[in-house]
Structure 1
Amino acid sequence: MNPRRICSVLTAWAALVAALLLPSPAHAAAPASPAVSYSNPLVNQRADPHIFKHTDGFYYYTATVPEYDRIILRRATTIQGLSAAPETVIWTKHASGEMGAHIWAPEIHFIDGKWYVYFAAGRADDVWRIRMYVLESSAANPLTGGWTEKGRIATPMDSFSLDATTFVVHGARYLSWAQKDPAIDNNSNLYIARLANPWTITGTPVRLSMPTYGWETVGHKVNEGPAVIQRGGKVFMTYSASATDSNYCLGMLTASASANLLDPAAWTKSPTPVFAGNAATGQYGPGHNSFTTSEDGRSDILVYHDRNYKDISGDPLNDPNRRTRVQKVYWNADGTPNFGIPVADGVTPQRLSSFNYPSHYLRHWDYRVKLEANVTNLADSQFRTVSGLAGNGTVSLESANFPGHYLRARNGEVWVDRNDGSTAFADSASFHRRPGLADAAGVSFEAYRSPGQYLRHYGFLLHVQPVAGTLAAQDATFHQQ
């Protein structure tokens, strides 16, 4: 047989085998959790943020103010709207005695038809004698209604305690908080108990976690600021660790929702932080988070504070520049939450899933852009859609974990490269955003300098190629998540 003929046959067989080994495409409708778009920071000089989405169509926001002297509320119909929403002072510290100093970490909850605010406070004459307290309001609008002091949350240990949060699992309401055990050489541990009513613990509290890992004990030995999110029959409790400077970070405990949550053995601690500062994005000391949901109710949102600089002069608690920030929570294939990294200031990034391989996302690997499933290094698969470097109504796709690097065409292949400021780079990294070629609910990206050529995957690598035919249109269609 002619050698060329043999080579041609072998090539055809190789292509057939490769096609058989590839997973079959499953054409996707719009994703269950579409993209969200917010701009960070949400609110400057507001720490320990808590956002509660109520059934009245409003988001309610509270946070620690730098003066540590009052409790504030905002409300808006959107998360971004909280940024400019008027702020109302609903309560001010006492002039003397209890609740007279260090007004910290308020949370607002709606329980059995009434509003409750949990917060921590010291005494005017002993500012570090910090305990947990509760306010109550029966008003429909908590910004305009009156508030009643329900008093201190009593715990068996009368010691430094703060950061109370409440949640319900299978109809049972729990309180979790941070507290100092005088018999343990650390600053605070995490505890949990059942609630008889919103301000009264029932039964014996149990300790869930102590700061033992190195990343939990930098500067101070701290577990504090618990927050709970639930999904798929699991309860995930995030918490903050280490000092409140650039070392502050989030850890996580996990339990089955059907387990006895008052049994410490029911909880598993992640051995590494699940959310930490990132020098590339310029975000330091992320922590003291809460959770809410997007406006359409289809995405979970991480709410937290951080600073946009690393070095602090003096006590971090005297530095006023912790800012409230928000970003989307993604979920791994194993059902665990993936918080990624604290994203750069400005518009939040998104993920692009394939129309015909909906479990696969665009991601960069050694700067080459490819299509891949189960991308647990979340930031590799996140891109910010920004104004196009070439202008003229285009967009560019900026890497979330390599700011200043953009998707750009190189000899028909797509790479993530650093912007060198040249016109040639700007042109190769700019695209016209079009309705999805295979699904108008999706999106396709037409190359700025090559009309008719689109970002598309081929062999699970991304290229800029002409689009002809149904399959090519599907390969060039993505959903924003």
Structure 2
Amino acid sequence: MRRNAVRLLMAVLFALVGCLAGPGTIAHAAVPDSPAVTYTNPIAEQRADPHIFKHTDGYYYFTATVPAYDRIVLRRATTIQGLKTAPETTIWTKHASGVMGANIWAPEIHYIDGKWYVYFAAGSTTDKWAIRMYVLEGTGANPLTAAWAEKGQIRTTWESFSLDATTFVVGGVRYLSWAQRNPAEDNNTSLFIAKMANPWTITGTAAEISQPTLSWETIGFKVNEGPAVIQRGGKVFMTYSASATDANYCLGMLTAAATADLTNPASWAKGSQPVFKSSDATSQYGPGHNSFTVSEDGKSDILVYHDRSYKDITGDPLNDPNRRTRVQKVYWKADGTPDFGIPVADGVTPQRFSSYNFADRFVRHFDYRARIDANVSPLADSQFRVVTGLTGSGTVSLESANFPGYYLRSNASFEVRLEKNDGTAGFASAATFHRRAGLSDSAGVSYESYASAGRYLRHYTYLLYVQTPSTATDRADATFYGQ
């Protein structure tokens, strides 16, 4: 009785909305500014500390640490996925003796004032742990064929272990951020920032903006390293990596106002918990040392990072070559902060589906029931991989991002739930859909049940069912936007 009363009330409300909007009109959301993007992970095997730079020439440029720690490589492609099969060029090789002769780590490529710059860390043939930061300058339109010159070491406050230089511009000012051992501290590395006089020289006093003090920053080693910056809504977000480079490796985040003095440590606030960490559910371990790029259409922010597909490592993790480059979409919370979710499973990356007529509500699972909600937390509850239908090609199934092997399927009452694939033909049929153009907007998507032709996935009183749409409201309820 209570459910029937709620349904009656919702029907009345929908009718009122229709009257207010005008005859024959259904209130609906605009097409999302950031439509769905999908990639297939991993992007590159045995490539750690990845950096992808999208240039104005229409190419993505990709560099990363190679397991031999002996050279700097570049790839380019017109798509992020294309980097997987793009040919790789070695643009620089370690010195045979002396500095820059060992442990060539964490290259980043940037285009500054008409020239290419690669920032990297390197040790010496006499002491491979004498890690310092260095810069290459490239002249030429294509960095794979550019003429590269060594600009030398980036000098900082101390002559100590330093690495992971990254550069970015905020408010017209160029900054360098990096990780370095502060001789006065009992840790491995802290994070620093300084303004730049030119692409290979800092100016002013370097400021220490974070040191590893939290429990999740000090497992194995006391580490803050690998800074990376993304900006949005007048805020500067700096992610960084923490702890040892095994399954404990994870991302933390600092936040500052774009108008603040970024060289003042007080301008930065550190989050108390990691923002991205290992996931047993998706078999992804030690995600970290990230960078950011944007999707091909420029409408989505993309997280680039490395991890491993297994948890247990024999010996020193730095001697394990199997860190892989991976990508996934960054989502943004209502409060303007980024939400990275979890490192998604290998294979096709998931999407979110927003309601056509409730712009802030997304399809999600909650206690294994499918529904639409706003402000979904954790994010992965509202992410689904659109995979080949369990009944075969030409159809699709919607697999949970954080419960791999679990799919949205209808039951005997036509209610949609998240359930584990039991391998039966009945399950496959109930968890399979035909993907159609949106019933209320062809820019959206609707999902017709494979098992019950004419019935579509739709929300009703915020719960999901497969039902036959017969009114404009029904069709609106059965239309979604991929994000």
**TM-score clears 0.5:** yes
| Partners of 1:399 and 1:105 in 2: CA distance | 33
| Partners of 1:288 and 1:152 in 2: CA distance | 22
Residue of structure 2 equivalent to 1:479: 481
> 1:145 is aligned with what amino acid?
A
Residue of structure 1 equivalent to 2:257: 256
Conserved 8 A contact 2:6-2:461: no
Tell me by how many angstroms 1:21 deviates: 10
Residue of structure 2 equivalent to 1:312: 313
Change (3 A) 1:11 1:33: closer
Query: What is the correspondence of 1:127-146 to structure 2 with a 5 Å cutoff?
Result: 127-146=128-147
Tell me by how many angstroms 1:77 deviates: 0.3
Secondary structure at 1:472's aligned position in 2?
helix
> 1:458 is aligned with what amino acid?
Y
Conserved 8 A contact 1:332-1:376: no
Amino-acid identity (%): 70
| Partners of 1:398 and 1:17 in 2: CA distance | 29
Change (3 A) 1:354 1:273: same
Secondary structure at 2:99's aligned position in 1?
coil
Secondary structure at 2:72's aligned position in 1?
strand
Query: Which segment drifts farther, 277-286 or 25-34?
Result: 25-34
| Partners of 1:327 and 1:202 in 2: CA distance | 35
> 2:289 is aligned with what amino acid?
H
Conserved 8 A contact 2:163-2:178: yes
Tell me by how many angstroms 1:54 deviates: 0.2
> 1:179 is aligned with what amino acid?
Q
| Partners of 1:347 and 1:319 in 2: CA distance | 25
Choose which of 459, 462, 467 in structure 2 pairs with 1:460: 462
> 1:413 is aligned with what amino acid?
E
| Partners of 2:475 and 2:357 in 1: CA distance | 10
Structure 1 portions without partners, runs of 5+: 1-6
Conserved 8 A contact 1:165-1:177: yes
Query: What is the correspondence of 1:263-412 to structure 2 with a 5 Å cutoff?
Result: 263-391=264-392, 393-410=394-411, 411-412=413-414
Q: Give the ranges of 4+ consecutive aligned residues of structure 1 lying more than 4 Å apart after TM superposition.
A: 10-14, 17-26
Query: What is the correspondence of 1:45-194 to structure 2 with a 5 Å cutoff?
Result: 45-194=46-195
The superposition leaves residues 111-130 of structure 1 with CA deviations (integer Å, 9 ceiling, x where unpaired) of: 00100000000011100000
Choose which of 6, 15, 23 in structure 1 pairs with 2:8: 15
Secondary structure at 1:99's aligned position in 2?
strand
| Partners of 1:179 and 1:142 in 2: CA distance | 28
| Partners of 2:267 and 2:80 in 1: CA distance | 34
C-alpha RMSD over aligned residues: 1.8
The superposition leaves residues 276-311 of structure 1 with CA deviations (integer Å, 9 ceiling, x where unpaired) of: 010110000000000000000000000000000000
Change (3 A) 1:457 1:160: same
> 1:199 is aligned with what amino acid?
W
> 1:429 is aligned with what amino acid?
A
| Partners of 2:137 and 2:79 in 1: CA distance | 25
| Partners of 2:241 and 2:476 in 1: CA distance | 43
Tell me by how many angstroms 1:156 deviates: 1.3
| Partners of 1:63 and 1:16 in 2: CA distance | 57
Count residues in correspondence: 474
| Partners of 1:94 and 1:361 in 2: CA distance | 53
Tell me by how many angstroms 1:17 deviates: 7.6
Tell me by how many angstroms 1:13 deviates: 9.6
Query: Which segment drifts farther, 374-383 or 327-336?
Result: 374-383
> 1:459 is aligned with what amino acid?
T
Change (3 A) 1:253 1:391: same
| Partners of 1:137 and 1:271 in 2: CA distance | 40
| Partners of 1:168 and 1:399 in 2: CA distance | 38
| Partners of 2:264 and 2:205 in 1: CA distance | 11
2:441 is aligned with 1:448:
no
Choose which of 428, 436, 439 in structure 2 pairs with 1:437: 439
Change (3 A) 1:125 1:352: same
Tell me by how many angstroms 1:341 deviates: 0.2
Secondary structure at 1:147's aligned position in 2?
strand
| Partners of 2:141 and 2:9 in 1: CA distance | 65
| Partners of 2:387 and 2:162 in 1: CA distance | 44
Residue of structure 2 equivalent to 1:425: 427
Secondary structure at 1:129's aligned position in 2?
coil
| Partners of 1:86 and 1:458 in 2: CA distance | 50
Tell me by how many angstroms 1:16 deviates: 3.7
Tell me by how many angstroms 1:15 deviates: 3.1
Change (3 A) 1:130 1:38: same
Change (3 A) 1:17 1:150: closer
Secondary structure at 1:37's aligned position in 2?
coil
| Partners of 1:344 and 1:11 in 2: CA distance | 40
| Partners of 2:457 and 2:6 in 1: CA distance | 28
Conserved 8 A contact 1:395-1:430: yes
| Partners of 1:332 and 1:12 in 2: CA distance | 33
Structure 2 portions without partners, runs of 5+: 18-25
Conserved 8 A contact 2:10-2:461: no
Tell me by how many angstroms 1:138 deviates: 1.6
Change (3 A) 1:385 1:136: same
- Give me the TM-score of the superposition, normalised by structure 1: 0.96
> 2:369 is aligned with what amino acid?
R
- Give me the TM-score of the superposition, normalised by structure 2: 0.96
Conserved 8 A contact 1:338-1:376: no
Residue of structure 2 equivalent to 1:3: none
Change (3 A) 1:23 1:112: farther
Conserved 8 A contact 1:26-1:358: no
